Amino acid sequence: MKNEYISHSQRETEELGEKLSKEIITGEVIALYGELGAGKTAFARGVLRGLGYTGIVNSPTFTIVNEYVLKECVVAHFDMYRVDDEETLATAGFFEHRDNHSTMLIEWSERAEEILDPSYIRVYIEGSGEDARKISVIRVDK
């Protein structure tokens, strides 16, 4: 499955994330790709809102992971930008979340390609600043 969208604002990017949340199976990995300021966190915020989270969603840049315990599932929101090795991932609980089948949102996924499960959703966000974004959603099956 591959779908492409154009987003003209942060709000539209969040709405696309919320729309995608309706297709997510608990335990799936949503891998987010895009340059700095592309809207990865905005997309993640929309996914979380669609899954029922009503609180504040911040980028996990400095914490590496933010965890959200929802009624139906646990969502682990990772930022791989500052991750340099598997020890850092282990300390942040990456492998534990993967093994417990948490739903995972992963920003800067290009830095973690080798450890992603063979079946996941890739979200490519092209553009930044005031430009419109091209958002491609691709479901990768085993």
71-106 pLDDT per residue, tens: 889 999 999 998 888 888 888 888 888 888 899 999
Q: Which whole-number Å values give the CA distances from 30 to 21, 123, 129, 131, 138, in the listed order?
A: 10, 7, 23, 24, 10
pTM equals 0.91
Domain covering 2-140 in this structure, CATH number: 3.40.50.300
* Domain boundaries along the sequence of the chain: 2-140
Report the alpha-carbon distance of residue 81 to residue 15 in Å, rounded. Answer: 24
140 pLDDT band, cuts 50/70/90, is confident
